[in-house]
Amino acid sequence: MKNTLLFLCIFIFTNVQAQDSTKIAIIGCHKQNNPAPALEYIANIMQPDYCIWVGDNVYADTRNDAQHIQLQLDKLAAKPGFDELRSNSTFMVTWDDHDFGLNNEGKNYPLKEESKQIHRTFWQLEDEIPADHDGVYYAKLEKQANGKIIQFIMLDGRYNRDDEGKKADALGEKQWAWLKAELQKEADIRLIVSGYQVLLDCPTRWEAWDKLGKSRKRLFDLVKAIEAKGVVFITGDQHYIEILKKNKALGYDAYEIMASGINQTERPSRDNNRIVGPDLTKHSAPQITIHWEGKGEHPPHIHFTNTAVKTGQQTSDYRIFMSDIGL
């Protein structure tokens, strides 16, 4: 009888814990020819509910050989931990320039259509991204066991992207119209994913929304006009980890979690909006845990952590409270 009660208590506690939190790994800027122990760590130790692939998921730069892109993705598929992740978590995927096909390229990239079809097939997104779609953008509403809804909005900042300049556009008009419609849907948390940074301010040597005409202002204004609450930006591109904050940019504070460089690092950029980092962990396992319930010192919040997989040391730790993002 005691054993039965103990089992029931453990089952109930575990079930409540599962309903009250959601774990999301962030993966990007993965060098396919180098070891990536973080993939195994994320698959076997973290065991996330979702994996966000933020772009540069492989480095497949080519101007005229689409098969080269496929071969680099095949190397990713053969990496230890990849199959386990694909089997045991839900993938949410976008691309950036190096898996799109060429450094800093946009709408004029000659293989963009071939690359799109490879992306759809490899990431098993044929049902999410129609074959005649102008890019790889898509969104999903994921209902959790407790009834809460996470909206994953996977932007494509490459297929229709202009060259940098005062009149440049990041998305193209079809994607802007689609994004407006998505933001009008009901959701508790909205994770907007972009391959390159949203809150990174100029001047910077890196690509950023702030270099693409009025694209960033248009994005902020769209969120404010719709009064879409619970937005957090998830981005990649640079090979370290940081959290950025821009006060009241969305009618409430805009937060960005930039987490990439899963098996590489580089010299950090200066960043006026940085509030956490830079975290230069080479083999990193970034994770968001959404705590849907809470009280006292820990009301409902999004908890970001990064772990150095070689040592198990936690190298980043920050909480974004739901009240900070308009909820």
* Residue 7 pLDDT > 60: no
pLDDT above 70: residue 82: yes
Q: Where are the domains of the chain?
A: 23-325
Question: For residue 204, what pLDDT band results from cuts at 50, 70 and 90?
Answer: confident
pLDDT tens by residue, 9-37: 434 344 444 578 999 999 999 999 999 99
**Contact residues for 162 (Cβ-Cβ < 8 A; gap 6+):** 106, 107, 168, 169, 170, 212, 213
d(CA 130, CA 258) in angstroms, rounded, equals 28
Residue 185: what pLDDT? Answer: 98
Question: What CATH superfamily classification does 23-325 receive?
Answer: Alkaline phosphatase D (PhoD) (3.60.21.70)
Residues in the chain: 327
pTM of the model: 0.94
Percent above pLDDT 70 for the chain: 94
User: Per mean pLDDT, which range of 7-21, 59-73, 104-118, 125-139 is the poorest?
Assistant: 7-21
Q: What is the pLDDT of residue 162?
A: 98
Q: What is the mean pLDDT of the chain?
A: 94
Q: In whole angstroms, what is the distance from residue 167 CA to residue 152 CA?
A: 28
Helices (H) and strands (E) in the chain, counts: 8, 13
8 Å CB contact between 61 and 98: yes
Residue 297's pLDDT is what?
75
